[in-house]
Every structure is written in structure tokens, then in C-alpha cells.
Structure 1
Amino acid sequence: MTDEKRIKLFSTHPHPCSYFDDREAKTLFVDPDIAVSSSLYSLLSQRGFRRSGNHYYRPNCEGCQQCIPCRVPVAEFTFSRNQRKLFNRNADLTVVATRELSTQAYGLYERYINARHTDGDMYPADPEQFASFITEGRSDTRYIHFYDNDRLISVAVSDPVEDGVSAIYTFYDPDDRRRSLGKYAVLWQIMQCQQRNLPYVYLGYWIRDCNKMRYKTNYRPIELLMSQRWIRLN
């Protein structure tokens, strides 16, 4: 039996939407008893699924299509003037990609969530929630650590898939605004894929009417999954 034929999906009951206060959401989850291989994970990414800890999911809301999967075709990506400046501004950072998280990571995550996401469902941060979201899931996950000298200032969680990488999450020093560390982590992953001749960086969901999720179309060209087809925006 192929990976695709083994997929079983379950839907949640309606629950409060994480992005719009006046809406309810529904989510499709892959059966948690299925072992998600690298090839199946790649197929799920191509179909708009994301990973959170041990769970693979996709929005399935009635009457709302705001959450649109997006990915950057890195071979055609070109830096804007501001993105080039941002990349150069962070050239002094040391980057270390490992399969193990630094012991400094939780403290950084806690500061980030408690400063930047007080209105979200991850607030307040706690070690159990951190483990279920960040450290559990896959053995091949890469934790990309960004250091300013010896001080950890950002961590990007990144999964390899067969046609690139899936950028899962980034957290960083909430007081360091000059570096724009979230944007830099995306650019760094795009550059790595370009150097390794990998086609895509999957960025999760673009949400036009949500300020926190609208930024993703700043990386051009970008592809949006609409009506089961990837549509390119230049």
C-alpha cells in the first residue's frame, strides 16, 4: 500500500479561530497512529498540510478560505533591496544547525511568547507546551541557532522534505528589533535551499486579512495552493 492510500484524516469539532475573533475553525488531522515517513510528509506538504509537534494538520473551515498554503520557489527567488540590507545586517551572526536544541532555547522561547503573543493560544509559555510544539515530532528536524557572539538570539525550527524544507516556527529575542530576526530566518533558509539545489521553502499559511500572517507574500516569487493547484505570484 502506498503512503498516499494509507492516509486517514479526522476532523475536529468547531473551535475558536486563532486568527479571527468572530469566527470558528475546523481542522483536519492525519491519523496519529500512522507513521509519517519522509515521502508521506513531503506529499502532505505538497497538499497544504503543516506539522505541529506530533500532529499533521490542515484547516478545513466552513465558509472561510483565508488560510492559503504558500511556498517559495527558491531557484527564482531574488532579494529585494530591503531584504539584501537585512541579510547583510545579520552577517555577523554565527549560525549552527543541529538536531538538538540548545539549553538556552526554552528561556528564549518563553520570553518571545510572553512578549509577542499575549493574545494567542500559546500564551503563557510553559515547558510542557514548548516540548509538545517544538521538540516533539520528527528525528530529522533541524534547529537552526543564531548567535550574537555567545548569546542565542534566535532559533528556527526546520523540517527537511523531499522537495525542500518546511519552515515550522521561529522564535527570537523580542527586544532585538533592529535585526528583524524572523525575516532573516526565512531568508537564511531560502539561501540554504538555493545552495543545495532544493526547490521549495514551505512557509505555512498566508492569511490576507491577518496582519501577523500577511507578510509571507513579501518573498517573491511565491506559490499559493488554491483549488488544489499551486499558483505562482511574481
Structure 2
Amino acid sequence: MAIPPTYINESKHLIRIQPEQLDLLWKEGWRHFGTHFYRYSWALYDDVLCMVVPLRVDLEGYKHSKRFKKIISKNKHFKTVIEPIALTTEHHVLFEKHKQKFTHSIPEDIYVFLSRQPDKIPNPTYQVNIYDTEREGKTNPVDKGRGKLIACSFFDIGNEAISSVYGMYDPDYHVHSLGIYTMLMEIEYAKEQQKNYYYHGYSYDLPSMYDYKKRFPNIQAYDWEHWQEPKKIFTNPLPKRFYHLVKLADLDLEHYKGSQIRSVGEFIHCSYSEQVARSANKYFSEEESILILHIAPERVYSLIKDEYAPNGLLFPHVYGYIPRMAIFRTTKISKNKNGIFEFDETIDDEFYE
């Protein structure tokens, strides 16, 4: 496989760095874990060579999307504390729980991402702590009285911008989209500090597990020469996750067994997140509970077509089969006390995180 002529692959070790230096590095696509600073412009993803695309949010005129407002609203009862980094036992316990989501390259400890002295080396790091005040936390002086630590993220502060370093959350709270929520709190902090940009990592110019970072409003993308509108770099449309609804009694049927879900008709009926509750209440009204299959479209190799239903809405239809590897989560939902199915549209906002 030929290496592109614009290939960049650099790293350096920095013990101390000033805020204005951070701004310059971020503008040129650099990131860091601890004292290890690095940048690279091309990578292999699923054996396909693709361009690494650093991203940032332009905070001038930034407003949260409707989806992000929902995430903030459903988590506002938690206690949020933004402060200079001060790692406690709670943080290490949380990291051990969070790293269970890794299936390969499992990090040994939190110091894979932070230096041993993150309050000063290579620069003072800040943290966003999210606490469940209804649960008892540890007895560390810093955490005492705040409740149970359920999410945390770390970020750097430059003169013109802030940059996210790493985030983690308690898997028991996965329905709260806490990975996205801590990023939104970092954005709020950056706006309060009158910063110009929020650097939130990188993605690829092809659909990938990092696509959730493309969903932020006002994003800019770096082509390794200029920051510009992302649509000039991401030539492929951002895939939109969809869902297949199943009766619990149907799980034993032949077409739901094996390594793939097969169509019993012309195509497999699916719904987008905002259509799930509507579909459940219309087509599964006789059921008390149903199963929702969460599907990553980039893992489906059959034809996916958006087609109109009689009500004029566009629904995704799969002509062929859905491999098991494309189903990244299953959720059982039951009718509420009013006999209505409800579905949290934001449940998968951090799936690719």
C-alpha cells in the first residue's frame, strides 16, 4: 500500500509547555497523553487507508443542538464540579470500571493518558467531575459530601482554546450519555472563559468509530494545511445509526438465529432513533415489551435504502441481511404506566466514543 506524499508522523517529549505553545500545537494537529506529544495524518482503519482529520469547535456563535440540549436536561440533577486536577481513589476506581469497555489495547491505568504529576507536568490539567448526589461516595477529603463520582473528563487550557484529553464514565450510567455530557460541560467552561475554540479530538475521512465527534455544531476540520468546513474533507455522508424492532417471542424464529439477521420479505424494516417510539407504538401495540437492536450502518454490507412509508416519512430498509457484528447494543423497552412505549433518542450518542 502506497504511503501518501503528504504523510505526517511526528512525536516529541515535552516536560513543560506554556498555554500559548499549546495553542500553536493544537492548530497544527498535535495532541498529547502526558508528556508524549504526537500527530499523524494517515492511519489504517479496518484495513483501509484513510486520512486522520483533527477537529475543533468554533465557539463564536456556538449553540447546543436539540439533541445536546436533551442530554444536558436529563443530567442537570447530577452535581458538576470543574476544577484543577486532583486525582483521588474515586477516579482510579472509575477508570477501572470504564476500561472494561475496551476490547483491545486495554490501558493499564489512568497514567497512560496523564502524567504522574498532571497538575504541573507538562501543564496544569483541569477536570470535570460529575457526581450522583443520591449515592454515597468515598471518604477522600476532595470527594467527601459530593456523592458518588460517575463521570470525569480531563482537559488542557491554552490562551485561545481548551482541548479535551480523556473522558471516562461509570458503565452503570450508560443511558445518561455521560461521555458526551462531560464534553458539553467542557464547551460551557470554554465559553465562560471566552475561548475561541474547543479541540475535541480527531476523526477519519471515512465512516468510523469516531464519527460521534463530527456531530457537534460549528465544527472545523484540518486537512493538514488549513482549518475549513468539514464538508470539504468528509466527502462521504455521515452514517446515521438505525434500529430494528423485534417481538420477544420472535427471537427464536429461524431468521434471527446464526451470524446474521435475514429478511423474510423484500427487506428488513428499520427505524431511525426519532422514529423508534412511533414504530413501537404503531406496530407493536399488542406487546408489553419488545427488543430494540441498535445497528451501526457502516458494518452492514447489504444495500440500505431510505424509502417513504405511506405516512410520508423516510425509513431505512435493508435489502439483504444484517450481520451480528453490526448490532452493537440491544435494549429491552416496556410500556410505561400509560401503556406507551418510550425510547431515549440520545442513548447512542457516545456509542463510537
TM-score by length of 1: 0.79
Q: Which residue, 1, 4, 11 being the options, matches 1:29?
A: 11
Match of 1:49 in 2: 30
TM-score by length of 2: 0.53
Match of 1:17 in 2: none
Residues of 1 paired with 2:25 and 2:8: CA distance? 18
Match of 1:182 in 2: 179
Match of 1:20 in 2: none
Say whether 1:111 aligns with 2:97. Answer: yes
Please report how far the alpha carbon of residue 71 of structure 1 lies from its aligned counterpart in structure 2 after TM superposition.
0.3
Say whether 1:101 aligns with 2:80. Answer: no
Matched residue count: 203
Match of 1:5 in 2: none
Please report how far the alpha carbon of residue 227 of structure 1 lies from its aligned counterpart in structure 2 after TM superposition.
4.1
Code of the aligned partner of 1:187:
L
**1:28/1:60 contact within 8 Å kept:** no
- Which digits, 9 at most, give the CA deviation of each residue in 1:65-101, with x for residues without a partner? 4210000011222222111111111111212223212
Match of 2:73 in 1: 88
Higher-RCO chain (CA-CA 8 Å, sequence separation at least 6): 1
Distance 1:109 1:208, change over 3 A: farther
Gaps of 5+ in 2: 1-6, 134-146, 232-353
Say whether 1:164 aligns with 2:161. Answer: yes
Distance 1:206 1:87, change over 3 A: same
Distance 1:198 1:99, change over 3 A: same
**1:99/1:139 contact within 8 Å kept:** no
**1:98/1:142 contact within 8 Å kept:** yes
Residues of 1 paired with 2:174 and 2:112: CA distance? 28
Within 5 Å, which residues of 2 pair with 1:148-163? Answer: 148-149=132-133, 150-163=147-160
Residues of 2 paired with 1:33 and 1:79: CA distance? 35
* Coordinate RMSD, CA, aligned: 2.3
Residues of 2 paired with 1:93 and 1:107: CA distance? 19
Q: Which of structure 1's runs of 4+ aligned residues deviate more than 6 A?
A: none
Say whether 1:220 aligns with 2:221. Answer: no
Distance 1:34 1:172, change over 3 A: closer
Q: Which residue, 127, 130, 146 being the options, matches 1:146?
A: 130
Code of the aligned partner of 1:140:
P
Please report how far the alpha carbon of residue 42 of structure 1 lies from its aligned counterpart in structure 2 after TM superposition.
1.5
- Matched position secondary structure for 1:45: helix
- Matched position secondary structure for 1:58: strand
Match of 1:207 in 2: 204
- Matched position secondary structure for 1:111: helix
- Which digits, 9 at most, give the CA deviation of each residue in 1:123-143, with x for residues without a partner? 1x434xx22422444341002
User: How many percent of aligned residue pairs carry the same amino acid?
Assistant: 24
**1:95/1:145 contact within 8 Å kept:** yes
Q: Which residue, 108, 129, 138 being the options, matches 1:126?
A: 108
Distance 1:108 1:27, change over 3 A: farther
- Matched position secondary structure for 1:178: helix
Please report how far the alpha carbon of residue 34 of structure 1 lies from its aligned counterpart in structure 2 after TM superposition.
6.7
Residues of 2 paired with 1:132 and 1:227: CA distance? 26
Q: Could you say which structure has the larger radius of gyration?
A: 2
Please report how far the alpha carbon of residue 146 of structure 1 lies from its aligned counterpart in structure 2 after TM superposition.
0.9
- Which digits, 9 at most, give the CA deviation of each residue in 1:173-209, with x for residues without a partner? 1121221001111111111122221111101112243
- Matched position secondary structure for 1:157: strand
- Matched position secondary structure for 1:104: helix
